[in-house]
Structure 1
Amino acid sequence: MADISWTEGVSTVANGSSEPPLEADFQYSLFPAIYSIVFVLGLLENIPALYLLSCQVKHSSHSSLYMTNLALVDTLFICVLPFKIHYHLNWNDWIFGDMACRVTGTLYYINIYLSIAFFTCICLDRYVAVLHPFTYLQIKAIHYLLVVTALWLLALSVTVPLILEGPLHNSGVRNTTACFENFPVSSWTGRMAPYNVLALVFGFLVPFSIILVSYPLIARKISQIKHSTRKRKALRTIYTILGICTLCFVPYHLTHLLHFLVRVQLIQNQAFTNLIYKMRRVTLALVSFNCCLNPLLYYFSSSSKPWLFNFRLCFRSKMVYTICDQNLGEASCAYKLQQIDGNKPPGDGIV
């Protein structure tokens, strides 16, 4: 997670020689445009979602705690986007001071890796619910709370190097002050190299592998359940998470890997280095779109009624599990997760 040397602005080549600096002038319009869209849409989507999910945690499934924290992470990141918009509009010149730079950069990476972590937790939660329903019934709210607390503590602890490194540097280009960029080569090959490797492996590769392995098993199990009014909704939840990961996080980390190889001088081809640098500008902007796409996940995994931003949805609901259906003495192996709203008859299927 503490990949502080993954720069975001004008950079020099990996060997620090007198070769021309890497430039991508389109970033000065790309970042402000993308971040402005994410800021507006993210606020409109995540603040209502955070409110509604908070009510759902109190009165519904405990697993909603994962999505509540996912919405919280997105909201915190969205709140610092105006600083980044100003930074890129002024050709990567930071004027807000050292502490604001540290907070902005830290929340940027916390958003990425906590989002992936909560995606993985949602995946494992659905996996246990579908394939091991009796075990799932024994999971209590305190277990979800402990997992969420551990993830937040881990995220904050591994960002300590971000805070201690000293993120502000004179870029040497247009006499600007760079925030979280232009770090010396020694940062890549020295003590920060292990953090970059751990971020790639345990921050993305392992969680994404869990998602890829678990969700096909879940989808196959759900597909075996017949006459389920919520089966499509459950499958859409699966496909939404896979889609967000594929669109936002996979390109981001592929370019991270290539960029890391360039910075540690394992790749020294100048033309390829320039290409990687430009690709990285695009993926750095693209990864922020997860804040706008995550509310789709909240919608697809909600109750049978669409949210429609109706704050009256914060009502008490009761979850009832039916493990087996009896039909003339013949047991069905399918099980259903039912939601009872007021005096209405329960629906069938898996949420």
Structure 2
Amino acid sequence: MMNTSSNCSLQANFQYHFFSTIYSLVFILGMTENALALYVLTCKVKNTTQSYVYFINLAIVDTMFVCMLPFRIHYHINENNWIFGDITCRITGTLYFTNIYLSIGFFTCICVDRYVAVVHPVTYLRIKISYYSIMITVLLWAIAAAIMVPLILGGRLDNFIEHNNKTACFENFSLRSWTTRMVPYNTCALVFGFVIPFSIIMISYPLIAKRISKIQTSIHKKKALRTIYMILAISILCFLPYHITHLLHFMMRIKLFDHCAFASFIYKLRRVTLALVSINCCLNPIMYYLTSTSYSGLITLKLRRLRAKKVYTIYDRDVTKFNCTYRNKL
């Protein structure tokens, strides 16, 4: 429960069973899928290109996320009572939001890489993409670490101790924190962590899809388009609702509006979008399945050697043979 004023009490009693159920399912599916994805991407896939670097880092981020979910499940089963200490709270809370923004960051990298490869193939061949993809990946992790370390090693979080002696974790900050410490974090997260990357994704992928749809003879055109639609769907269904409600939640916290009924609705809706955003770590491995022929073959237990065939895909394996069709030797 949260009090925004003396006359408005915000609560969402459904959240305890809702979060624990969703997070339990995400933990089971996410751990299984991402463990398989890491195994395939590190042990079975050969002759990789720059997209591989982004995919494997995305799988690492998702694995880190699902590993901290048991703490959140216990927290919500006990009606939002945190018993694991302040440091553990900061680590798990920071990893939760790191997953969101690193996932969006790697989505954007994949988007830009595929846009250049499909729309500007000559330019794509002239650039040492593998080198740049590693440098960009290191940069993203460095930025994430620069944000995570102060949150983890900083002062004790000013969570409320409720009247029934329950300790909140990474929520219910005081008005002072929302108007001072939390302002730069929320502003940068919304603008640089979501608005700009999401805009790039929403502009680039439709252009890629339009270019692919013009190809008339490729039997794998539908597969490439499904991959694009999968990425767009994850962005729209998981990340967009969360950031809209988070913006409204942030405005409510800093008292830009104080309408009790609307504040109560946003408080409840944010519970739903917080759970929804976690589902991305279960959907990402499906994207690997749609993208990689060898991943698909392993899932279906068809590990026989595939004959060389021409495939049109946005996840190419041999960029030196870049053309309207790609040579896929998975």
TM-score (norm 2): 0.90
Residue 95 of structure 1 aligns with which residue?
A: 83
**Retained in 1: the 8 A contact 2:47–2:318?**
no
- What do residues 180-202 of structure 1 show as CA deviations (whole Å, max 9, x unaligned)? 12211011111321221111111
Which is helix-richer, 1 or 2? 2
User: Are 1:249 and 2:248 counterparts?
Assistant: no
User: Are 1:155 and 2:144 counterparts?
Assistant: yes
- What do residues 76-127 of structure 1 show as CA deviations (whole Å, max 9, x unaligned)? 1001100000000001111111221111011100100001111111100110
**Where does the alignment leave 5 or more consecutive residues of structure 1 unmatched?**
1-9, 325-334, 342-351
- Give the one of 273, 289, 293 matched to 2:283: 293
User: Are 1:190 and 2:180 counterparts?
Assistant: yes
1:125-274 correspondence runs (5 A): 125-137=113-125, 138-163=127-152, 164-167=154-157, 169-274=159-264
Indicate the SS of the match to 2:293. Answer: coil
Residue 347 of structure 1 aligns with which residue?
A: none
**Retained in 2: the 8 A contact 1:52–1:311?**
no
When structure 1 is superposed on structure 2, of 134-143 and 218-227 the one drifting more is: 134-143
**Retained in 2: the 8 A contact 1:169–1:181?**
yes
Residue 105 of structure 2 aligns with which residue?
A: 117
Residue 311 of structure 2 aligns with which residue?
A: none
CA pair 154-286 structure 1, distance change in 2 beyond 3 A: same
**Structure 1: distance between partners of 2:322 and 2:302:** 32
Count, aligned residues? 318
Indicate the SS of the match to 1:155. Answer: helix
**Retained in 2: the 8 A contact 1:130–1:221?**
yes
- Give the one of 96, 105, 120 matched to 1:108: 96
CA pair 125-93 structure 1, distance change in 2 beyond 3 A: same
**Structure 2: distance between partners of 1:260 and 1:57:** 43
- Give the one of 5, 11, 16 matched to 2:2: 11
* Structure 1: 4+ residue segments shifted above 6 A: none
Residue 326 of structure 2 aligns with which residue?
A: 337
**RMSD over aligned Cα, in angstroms?**
2.2
**Structure 2: distance between partners of 1:311 and 1:98:** 48
* CA displacement at 1:236 relative to structure 2: 0.8
Letter in 2 for 1:33: T
**Structure 2: distance between partners of 1:173 and 1:283:** 27
* CA displacement at 1:169 relative to structure 2: 3.0
TM-score (norm 1): 0.85
**Retained in 1: the 8 A contact 2:158–2:173?**
no
Residue 29 of structure 2 aligns with which residue?
A: 41
**Structure 2: distance between partners of 1:99 and 1:165:** 10
User: Are 1:86 and 2:85 counterparts?
Assistant: no
Letter in 1 for 2:186: N
**Structure 2: distance between partners of 1:276 and 1:165:** 29
**Structure 2: distance between partners of 1:272 and 1:198:** 25
Letter in 2 for 1:221: R
- What do residues 33-57 of structure 1 show as CA deviations (whole Å, max 9, x unaligned)? 0000000111111100111112366
CA pair 53-273 structure 1, distance change in 2 beyond 3 A: same
Letter in 2 for 1:274: S
Indicate the SS of the match to 1:21. Answer: strand
**Where does the alignment leave 5 or more consecutive residues of structure 2 unmatched?**
309-316
Letter in 1 for 2:259: N
CA pair 50-232 structure 1, distance change in 2 beyond 3 A: same
Letter in 2 for 1:171: I
**Structure 2: distance between partners of 1:77 and 1:289:** 11
Indicate the SS of the match to 1:166. Answer: coil
**Retained in 1: the 8 A contact 2:251–2:257?**
yes
**Retained in 1: the 8 A contact 2:238–2:277?**
yes
**Structure 1: distance between partners of 2:186 and 2:112:** 26
1:69-80 correspondence runs (5 A): 69-80=57-68
The structure with the larger Rg is: 1
